[in-house]
Structure 1
Amino acid sequence: MIAPKGRPGHCARSSSRLRAVSSGPSVPLPTTPRVIAISPILAVRDVAVSVAFYVRYLGFRKVFVMEDLSYGVVAFDSHAVHFTRSEDKAALRATRGRTAIYIRVDHIEPLWNRVYQAAPPTPVRSLETHPWGMREFHVQDPDGCLLRFGEEAG
């Protein structure tokens, strides 16, 4: 543990004033923590539009949408994507073209066929095999978030 030199409870102004302190022997955890889920929360203009897009074109299921349409969640198996309505132009710009979610799947071909046949009204990059050993396709959602679906090739 690192603590500032000087009075307890006061922060050091520079890292040169930090010194190592011992908090005693480390206590083992009863179990090793593990990640159960990582769920992105995307700022969107319209939660209902986003939920409908993910359900109709990508095969997600609707988990819930707040009555006032300020928040919604979709899921694919046990993996969720959350949407929060935003009117903040900077937040919406931060998503458009700058946010990507990589979704690793088994059996990518049927998923690609579903997306291809549904023909989403947003940019789509076809399923292809890459030199790094993955088969991938990309879909951009209505707010510009890039969804990259991938499966190990071979």
Structure 2
Amino acid sequence: MNNPPVLGNISPIIPAGSDMEKAIEFYEQKLGFTTIYQEDEPVTMAIVKRDSAEIFLQQNDDTYLAEWTTFRIQVKHVEQLYEELQNKGRGMIHPNGQLQTKPWGMKEFAVIDPAGVCITFFEEI
């Protein structure tokens, strides 16, 4: 039994601000996620999922924490996702995060959620 460990998907827990309904609506309506779990009433934590990407939204209105939270999601067909999200509202694309090919071999773009968290969607080229 000499099987090496294999890492799988990562499910970040991120600050979602104080308005959980607004956060959940953003992830569902703008980013195309589905809420698969909610905790408490009113909601203090929710899990949203799209394909293999799963994110835990935690009620937390620490803007400093949110603005310094960032993570990356690997995507197949990143150009189509960029177009999809632009059609749902240009304001969510990070001001410096338009779709571009980076010197490290990734095509990527970034969005900012309502709490200030930066999410980069990328595809290896």
TM-score scaled to structure 2, two decimals? 0.84
Aligned residues: 121
Shift of 1:147: 0.5
Give, as a single letter, the amino acid of the residue that structure 1 aligns with 2:33: F
Superposition RMSD on alpha carbons, in Å? 1.9
Give, as a single letter, the amino acid of the residue that structure 2 aligns with 1:81: I
In the alignment, which residue of structure 2 is the partner of 1:93?
64
Take 1:115 and 1:79, find their aligned partners in 2: how far apart are those partners? 16
| Residue 53, structure 1, aligned to residue 26, structure 2 | yes
Deviations 1:68-118 (A, max 9, x none): 10110111212210011125x4xx42122x111111111111111111000
Take 2:6 and 2:90, find their aligned partners in 1: how far apart are those partners? 36
TM-score scaled to structure 1, two decimals? 0.70
| Residue 70, structure 1, aligned to residue 40, structure 2 | no
Give, as a single letter, the amino acid of the residue that structure 1 aligns with 2:30: Y
Give, as a single letter, the amino acid of the residue that structure 1 aligns with 2:21: A
In the alignment, which residue of structure 2 is the partner of 1:83?
57
Gaps of 5+ in 1: 1-28
**Identity rate, percent:** 29
In the alignment, which residue of structure 2 is the partner of 1:111?
81
Take 1:106 and 1:131, find their aligned partners in 2: how far apart are those partners? 19
Take 2:113 and 2:107, find their aligned partners in 1: how far apart are those partners? 20
Residues 106/77 of structure 1: CA separation in 2 closer, same or farther (3 Å cut): same
Take 2:87 and 2:59, find their aligned partners in 1: how far apart are those partners? 29
Residues 133/30 of structure 1: CA separation in 2 closer, same or farther (3 Å cut): closer
Take 2:119 and 2:60, find their aligned partners in 1: how far apart are those partners? 20
| Residue 146, structure 1, aligned to residue 118, structure 2 | yes
Deviations 1:109-129 (A, max 9, x none): 111111100015435322111
Gaps of 5+ in 2: none
In the alignment, which residue of structure 2 is the partner of 1:34?
6
